[in-house]
């Protein structure tokens, strides 16, 4: 039979970006070990609503770790205690009866709070807008096998391309830097022949946009890699810096 637990929750409430915000507390009994963390929050909200209290807002969608919507900071850790999973894939079997759990939004100037645990991550969209693509119009592509790509290179590009855009890297970084997110897209595209033409413009435009959004700089803490739910390597940041330096020095 599955285990049931009592969990003491402390969660962030904030009514819009201009509210100062505060913590509220609630104790949930009968938390099943097989529940996901977000299902536990669903149960919390059901109880709150039946007690005529306001539910806590949090972002979620696919609940299978791929859409990148959920991004809670749990007891100070982005996506909680388990490595290599998004919070929707964190299960309560990772907790013990009587545990105290504090839930906060990712805190970064570039991620203003919308409500409670929901933040505005449109800064990520704008970084991609600045250059996170190959400029190829629909219909203008060459035959798919016309350009062979070494398997190792293609696999490496894939590893960077798996970023889910959740923002845990920003939440975990003492500087609230978006270098891992930005570097991952740059490294994905710059590893491939298709990305080669725009290599220099892409890295410069994306790095500039990242700075403009108010993200901090990278100081090699590597906290981002530690919390990344899909395991993007900080070598992405090295790739980004290398390409950036090349582009700036060569004046391209």
Partner 1 sequence: MKFDSKVPGGPLEEKWDKHLKDINLVSPNNKRKYEIIVVGTGLAGGAAAASFAELGYNVRSFCIQDSARRAHSIAAQGGINAAKNYPNDGDSIWRLFYDTIKGGDYRSRESNVYRLSQVSNEIIDQAVAQGVPFAREYGGNLANRSFGGAQVSRTFYARGQTGQQLLLGAYQAMMRQVHKGNIKYHPRHEMLDVVVIDGQARGIITRDLVSGELCRYEADAVVLATGGYGNVFYLSTNAKNSNVTAAWRAHKRGAAFANPCYVQVHPTCIPVSGDYQSKLTLMSESLRNDGRVWVPKEKEDDRHPNEIPEEERYYYLEERYPAFGNLVPRDVASRNAKMVCDDGLGVGETGLAVYLDFRDAIDRDGKDAISAKYGNLFDMYENITGENPYERPMRIYPAVHYTMGGLWVDYNLETTIPGLYAAGEANFSDHGANRLGASALMQGLSDGYFVLPYTIGDYLAKQEPGKRYGTDHDAFQEAENEAQAQIDKLLNIDGNRTIVDFHRTLGKIVWDKIGIARNEEGLKQAIEEIRELREEFWQNVKVPGEKNNYNKYLEFAGRVADFFELAELMAEDALNREESAGCHLREEYQTDEGEALRNDEEYSYVSAWEYKGLNGKLEETLHKENLEFEFVELKQRSYK
Cα–Cα separations (whole angstroms), residue 46 to 30, 54, 115, 116, 204: 14, 10, 18, 17, 48
- Least Å distance between CB 60 and partner 1? 6
Q: Which of 102, 162, 175, 235 binds partner 1 (CB under 8 A)?
A: 162
Q: Which of 11, 74, 101, 115 binds partner 1 (CB under 8 A)?
A: 115
| Helix, strand, coil in percent for the chain, rounding step 5 | 40, 15, 45
107 binds partner 1 (CB under 8 A): no
154 binds partner 1 (CB under 8 A): yes
Q: Which of 25, 97, 120, 217 binds partner 1 (CB under 8 A)?
A: 120
**Among residues 150 and 252, whose Cβ is nearest to partner 1?**
150
Which part of the chain contacts partner 1 (CB under 8 A), choosing from 20-28, 89-97, 213-221, 233-241?
89-97
Which part of the chain contacts partner 1 (CB under 8 A), choosing from 21-29, 53-61, 216-224, 240-248?
53-61
CA distance 112 to 130: 21
The pair of three-digit structure tokens given for residue 22, joined into one six-digit string: 């505060």
Q: Which of 13, 32, 214, 241 binds partner 1 (CB under 8 A)?
A: 32
Determine phi and psi for 202, rounding to 5 degrees: -60, -50
Residue in the structure block whose two tokens are 């149960």:
43
229 binds partner 1 (CB under 8 A): no
Q: Which of 18, 50, 220, 250 binds partner 1 (CB under 8 A)?
A: 50
CA distance 31 to 100: 13
Q: Which of 5, 38, 73, 210 binds partner 1 (CB under 8 A)?
A: 38
- Least Å distance between CB 219 and partner 1? 27
Which part of the chain contacts partner 1 (CB under 8 A), choosing from 5-13, 133-141, 211-219, 234-242?
133-141
Which part of the chain contacts partner 1 (CB under 8 A), choosing from 100-108, 136-144, 220-228, 239-247?
136-144
Query: Among residue numbers 195 through 224, which ones bind partner 1 (CB under 8 A)?
Result: 195
36 binds partner 1 (CB under 8 A): yes
CA distance 179 to 73: 19
15 binds partner 1 (CB under 8 A): yes
CA distance 38 to 53: 19
Contacts of 26 (CB under 8 A, 6+ apart): 9, 11, 44, 47, 48
CA distance 54 to 1: 33
Neighbours of 235 (CB within 10 A): 15
Which part of the chain contacts partner 1 (CB under 8 A), choosing from 79-87, 174-182, 212-220, 236-244?
79-87
Q: Which of 12, 68, 170, 223 binds partner 1 (CB under 8 A)?
A: 68
CA 56 to chain centre: 20
102 binds partner 1 (CB under 8 A): no
Name which of 96, 122, 116 is nearest 41 in CA terms.
116
């Amino acid at each position: 039979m599955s285990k049931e637990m009592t969990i003491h929750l402390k969660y962030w409430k904030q009514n819009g970006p201009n509210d100062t915000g505060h913590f509220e507390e609630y104790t949930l009994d009968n938390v099943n070990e097989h529940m996901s963390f977000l299902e536990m929050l669903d149960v919390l909200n059901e109880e709150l609503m039946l007690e005529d209290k306001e539910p806590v807002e949090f972002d979620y969608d696919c609940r299978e770790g791929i859409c990148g919507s959920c991004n809670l900071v749990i007891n100070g850790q982005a996506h909680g205690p388990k490595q290599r999973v998004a919070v929707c894939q964190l299960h309560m079997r990772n907790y013990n009866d009587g545990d105290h759990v504090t839930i906060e939004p990712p805190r970064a100037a570039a991620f203003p709070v919308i409500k409670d645990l929901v933040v505005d991550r449109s800064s990520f969209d704008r970084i991609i807008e600045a250059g996170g693509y190959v400029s190829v119009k629909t219909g203008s592509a060459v035959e798919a096998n016309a350009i062979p790509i070494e398997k190792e290179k293609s696999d490496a590009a894939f590893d960077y391309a798996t970023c889910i855009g959740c923002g845990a890297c920003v939440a975990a970084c003492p500087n609230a830097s978006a270098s891992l997110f930005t570097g991952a897209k740059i490294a994905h595209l710059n590893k491939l022949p298709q990305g080669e033409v725009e290599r220099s413009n892409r890295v410069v435009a994306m790095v500039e946009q990242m700075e403009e959004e108010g993200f901090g700089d990278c100081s090699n803490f590597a906290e981002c890699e530690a919390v990344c739910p899909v395991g993007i390597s900080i070598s992405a940041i090295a790739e980004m810096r290398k390409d950036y330096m090349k582009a700036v020095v060569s004046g391209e």
